[in-house]
């Protein structure tokens, strides 16, 4: 937690006071170009608001938004200042997309699956059950055509998307019932949002939806048998180990959830080219930073959970994973068939996955097995 406190302090140090001047207009971009020719001229900084879907200083996600804002502000030498608003400070969490679309804020930070009601194809850019790992997701986005598709999907909303973080492989979740066979999924009361929830429902479970704040009591009272959350770092901070016996892996439902930043297209177009590149570079840096942070902190949090809190780690049996994989293929095909844009994105992602799986079979997996002596 000391580490978290330090991170929060660092992030908070990057906050700047809010000004109500108009942001991102073409006049400012001309002023900035002039400033490059004559550095002595006083230039008013461009001020952007970043709305997020995270509570203030939420581990890795809320702090990730703060770090991205600080990074843009510092890399631009203060010419582009970004101020972060936690969920509810400027607009409610789930209105962040609309706020950026209409220009109330110039920038947002979220997970794209929050917008699936408005943009069904958006959910594919966070993660898919049994889908791409973080490394594969980044490869698809930056070198496999994914980013172009994402831009195409968001363009009608006047928004430019960028990847801005990744959780890496999550955990399968916390259970008070052992999962020894496919039959144990039958009637299992589990909280799981999104596509993963649809999959586990198809496999026989009863999916219960509830806000994060109710999970702890629901596990303790038996209102639910299980819940998925994130991974050891977030789960330890949340204290779920006090209400559940077993901690299952792997997180088949979220194998590498991408976090996004999204920018009002007019505000982005009005920036001089160098500031546009700074925003892109800062997003790419944030994308790498978050995955590095999750990897390091999950690792140490898992040691604490097992050694100090005596959490029982368990792997899902192979036949259970096979059942969930089959259900995933069906759910994904159904979701894609209901929306042409989703079908286009799913086809691209699926084709990429099939190819990269062959390469990773003889590279990542072969090496990891060899390293472990298997």
Please, which residue, 48 or 130, has the CB nearer to Ca ion?
130
Stretch that binds Ca ion, among 34-42, 235-243, 250-258, 271-279 (CB under 5 A): 250-258
Please, which residue, 80 or 207, has the CB nearer to Ca ion?
207
Site for Ca ion in 71-110 (CB under 5 A): none
Stretch that binds Ca ion, among 47-55, 246-254, 295-303, 331-339 (CB under 5 A): 246-254
Residue 170 CB, nearest approach to Ca ion (Å): 5
Residue 253 CB, nearest approach to Ca ion (Å): 7
Q: Which residue is nearest to Ca ion (CB)?
A: 254
Residue 231 CB, nearest approach to Ca ion (Å): 8
Task: Specify burial of residue 215 (Cβ count, 10 A radius: 0-12, 13-18, 19+).
Answer: buried
Stretch that binds Ca ion, among 47-55, 148-156, 249-257, 267-275 (CB under 5 A): 249-257
Please, which residue, 227 or 342, has the CB nearer to Ca ion?
227
Write out the H or E segment, with its range, that includes residue 279. helix 273-307
Residue 205-244 contact track with Ca ion, rule CB under 5 A, x = bound: ----------------------------------------
Site for Ca ion in 168-187 (CB under 5 A): 170
Please, which residue, 16 or 238, has the CB nearer to Ca ion?
238
Binding-site size, Ca ion (CB under 5 A): 2
Closest CA to 86 of 113, 114, 58, 107: 58
Q: State the residue for tokens 């330090």.
A: 6
Query: Which residues in 132-157 are b (16+ Cβ under 10 Å) and which e?
Result: bbbebbbbbbeebebbebbeebbeeb
Site for Ca ion in 132-171 (CB under 5 A): 170
For 103: left if phi > 0, alpha if psi spans -120 to 50, otherwise beta; the answer is: left
Write out the H or E segment, with its range, that includes residue 160. strand 159-166
Q: In the set 28, 235, 254, 289, which binds Ca ion (CB under 5 A)?
A: 254
Residue 348 CB, nearest approach to Ca ion (Å): 24
CA distance 137 to 50: 24
Please, which residue, 166 or 170, has the CB nearer to Ca ion?
170
Residue 233 CB, nearest approach to Ca ion (Å): 12
DSSP letter for each residue of 96-114: HHHHHHHTSSSEEEE-GGG
Closest CA to 238 of 219, 257, 261, 258: 219
Q: Residue 251 has which token pair?
A: 């997180």
Residue 254 CB, nearest approach to Ca ion (Å): 5
Contacts 24+ apart (CB under 8 A), 329-335: 329/130, 330/202, 331/129, 331/195, 331/198, 331/199, 331/202, 332/128, 332/129, 332/195, 335/120, 335/123, 335/195, 335/198
Q: How crowded is residue 79: how many other Cβ atoms within 10 Å of its Cβ?
A: 22
Stretch that binds Ca ion, among 36-44, 251-259, 299-307, 345-353 (CB under 5 A): 251-259
- Secondary-structure percent of the chain, ordered helix, strand, coil, rounded to 5: 55, 15, 30
Please, which residue, 254 or 260, has the CB nearer to Ca ion?
254
Please, which residue, 212 or 340, has the CB nearer to Ca ion?
212
CA distance 10 to 5: 9
Please, which residue, 70 or 166, has the CB nearer to Ca ion?
166
Residue 333 CB, nearest approach to Ca ion (Å): 22
Please, which residue, 254 or 289, has the CB nearer to Ca ion?
254
- Site residues, Ca ion (CB under 5 A): 170, 254
């Amino acid at each position: 937690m000391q580490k978290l406190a330090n991170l929060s302090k660092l992030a908070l140090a990057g906050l700047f006071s809010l000004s109500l001047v108009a942001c991102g207009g073409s006049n400012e971009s001309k002023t900035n170009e002039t400033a490059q020719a004559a550095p002595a001229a006083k230039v008013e900084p461009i001020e952007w608001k970043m709305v997020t879907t995270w509570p203030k200083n939420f581990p890795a996600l809320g702090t990730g938004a703060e770090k991205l804002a600080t990074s843009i502000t510092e890399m631009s030498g203060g010419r582009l200042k970004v101020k972060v608003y936690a969920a509810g400070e400027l607009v409610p969490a789930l209105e962040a997309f609309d706020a950026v679309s209409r220009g109330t804020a110039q920038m947002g930070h979220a997970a794209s699956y929050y917008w699936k009601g408005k943009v069904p194809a958006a959910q594919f850019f966070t993660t898919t059950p049994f889908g791409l790992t973080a490394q594969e997701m980044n490869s698809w986005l930056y070198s496999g055509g994914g980013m172009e598709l994402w831009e195409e999907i968001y363009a009608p909303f006047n928004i430019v998307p960028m990847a801005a973080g990744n959780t890496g492989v999550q955990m399968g979740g916390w259970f008070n019932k052992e999962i020894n066979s496919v039959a144990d999924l039958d009637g299992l009361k589990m909280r799981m949002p999104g596509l993963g929830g649809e999959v586990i429902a198809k496999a026989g479970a009863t999916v219960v939806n509830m806000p994060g704040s109710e999970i702890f009591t629901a596990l303790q009272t038996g209102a639910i048998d299980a819940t998925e959350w994130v991974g050891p770092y977030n789960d330890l901070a949340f204290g779920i180990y006090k209400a559940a016996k077993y901690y299952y892996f792997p997180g088949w439902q979220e194998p590498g959830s991408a976090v996004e930043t999204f920018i009002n297209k007019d505000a982005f177009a009005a920036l001089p080219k160098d500031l546009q590149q700074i925003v892109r570079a800062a997003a790419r840096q944030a994308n790498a930073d978050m995955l590095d942070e999750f990897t390091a902190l999950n690792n140490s949090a898992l040691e604490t959970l097992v050694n100090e809190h005596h959490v029982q780690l368990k792997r899902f049996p192979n036949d259970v994973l096979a059942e969930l994989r089959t259900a995933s293929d069906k759910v994904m095909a159904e979701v894609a068939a209901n929306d042409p844009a989703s079908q286009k994105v799913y086809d691209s992602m699926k084709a990429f996955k099939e190819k990269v799986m062959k390469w990773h079979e003889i590279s990542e997996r072969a090496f990891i097995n060899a390293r472990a002596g298997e």
